Amino acid sequence: MGDHEIGVIIADHHPVFRDGLRHLVQAEQGLNMVGEAPDAEKALQLTEQLKPDVLLLDLQIPKLTALRALERLAEMPNQVKVLLMSEGIERQQIIRMLHFVARGVILKDAAPRLCQGNSLRS
C-alpha cells in the first residue's frame, strides 16, 4: 500500500455521529478525511467530485434510499468502496446491498475500532 492515504467520505444525517466518526478517521494514520455529507445527494456529488477510496454511507440517509444511492454509485466510473452503517439491518437487505458496490456493513453500536485501520483499508 505504501504511502497512499485512503480518502474517506462520511455520509450520515446525524452531525454528532459524523463528528465522532471524523475524529476516529483523522486519528488513524494512512486515512484522510476528504468530505462529509448530510444526505445521499450530497454524498453522491462529493463522491463523483472527490473520488474517495471509501464511502461510509448511513443506511437511513435522507433524500434517496441507500439502495438507490448504491445503484447510482455503481454507475460511476470510479469504483468507491462503500461500507454501510446501520443501527440494524436484515439479512435480505444486506444481500441486496452487496449486489451493488457495498463491501460490508458496520453496525452503529459496534466498537469504534471497526471504523479505523484495517476495516477501512480492506
- Domain coordinates of the chain in residue numbers? 6-121
Percent of the chain with pLDDT over 90: 34
Tens-digit pLDDT profile for residues 31-88: 999 999 999 999 999 999 999 999 999 888 888 887 888 889 888 888 899 888 877 6
What CATH number does domain 6-121 carry, 3.40.50.2300, 3.30.70.120, 3.40.1190.20, 3.40.50.1950? 3.40.50.2300
Distance CA 44, CA 32 (A): 18
Angstrom distance (rounded) from CA 58 to CA 4:
26
Contact 24, 115 (CB under 8 A): yes
- Distance of alpha carbon 24 from alpha carbon 20, whole angstroms: 6
